[in-house]
Amino acid sequence: MKRIFTLLVIISFLFAIQAYSDTTIIEVIELHYQTADEIIDIIKPFAGTDGTISGIGSNLIIKTTPENLSEIKKIIKKIDIAPRQLIITVKQNVTSDQLDREVSASSSINIGENGRVTIGDCKSNRCGRSKVSVNGANTNKFQHTGDVQQIKVIEGGQAFIQIGMSVPSKEQTIFQNRHGFTVNTETIYRDVTSGFYVLPRIKGEQVIMEIMPKQGYLDNLGSIHNREAFTKVNCKMGEWVELGSIVQETSKKQNGINSFSNHNGNVNHKIFVKVDEIK
């Protein structure tokens, strides 16, 4: 009797295993554009309490019911798509009236002892005009790489927009001759990397641009340093956004035999950016 009972238990257990195996399947799905790590957390809740999802590289290993697997495949089809190709266009030396666009950015960073970069504050959907200013005695030579720059980037990829600037630096050379030492001092211009990183993301009809200005400056010892900040800009696809302007303070003195004159002014370089999709 005991042996019969044990046999019945084993048979029941085998039937239970077979019934469970009939309701769960294992399938390997190859992704085309995403990696497994990027979407596992998204689809895992749809595998059910007894289901499991793991992945290696671009392959997903899914164990779940046929019904759940069908739903998971529908979700994967929607999110495993090619990233959009975007083109970022930057314009300099234009006025806000020409492009008629308000700003939505907020950032402020210091540049050494003599300058500060400020992008105006935005606290609502409609933002005031903002400005990036670079002030200081060591920024009296400004060179831009062109009025229009265009960079192609995939969605989620990062691009660096460079705004050329040369900073004067004094260099001394000591020569030895039979009369002693001679010190030769000359002014050289060193290129300091200034500009900003742009990381565009698409959300519906909106473009979310993560902006990180990178401003270089030259210290008293002639070493180049960089200060960085971070902000986000929201706009529509194809619309111009004014990130601000680089305002360079200039000072010029002229001396003559019978005359002396000073000239002070600002050189204003406005910066606008837009993102378009390449179709």
CA distance 38 to 57: 10
Instruction: Return phi, psi of residue 172, to 5°.
Output: -110, 135
Rounded Cα distance between 112 and 137, Å, is: 11
Domains of the chain in sequence order: 2-79 (3.30.1370.120), 85-277 (no CATH)
Low-confidence ranges of the chain (pLDDT < 50): 101-146, 246-267
Residue 61's pLDDT is: 92
* pTM, 2 dp: 0.48
User: What pLDDT was estimated at residue 131?
Assistant: 34
Predicted confidence at residue 204, as pLDDT, reads 78
* CA distance to 32, 33, 34, 176, 276, per residue, from 79 (Å): 10, 9, 8, 71, 21
- Which residues have CB under 8 Å from 106's CB, separation 6+? 119, 120, 121, 122, 130, 231
For the chain, state the CA radius of gyration. 31
List the one residue out of 84, 85, 91 whose CA is nearest residue 274. 91
For residue 203, what pLDDT is reported? 81
Q: How far apart are CA 242 and CA 95, in angstroms?
A: 9
Distance CA 272, CA 171 (A): 36
Query: 112: which 2 tokens?
Result: 């050494």
Q: What is the pLDDT of residue 43?
A: 92
Whole-number pLDDT of residue 150:
82
Contacts of 38 (CB under 8 A, 6+ apart): none
Task: Compute, in degrees rounded to 10, the torsion defined by CA atoms 55, 60, 61, 64.
Answer: 120
pLDDT of residue 143: 31
What residue type is 163 in one-letter code? Answer: I
- pLDDT, position 71: 94
d(Cα 183, Cα 279) in Å, to the nearest integer? Answer: 61
Specify the pLDDT at position 207: 87
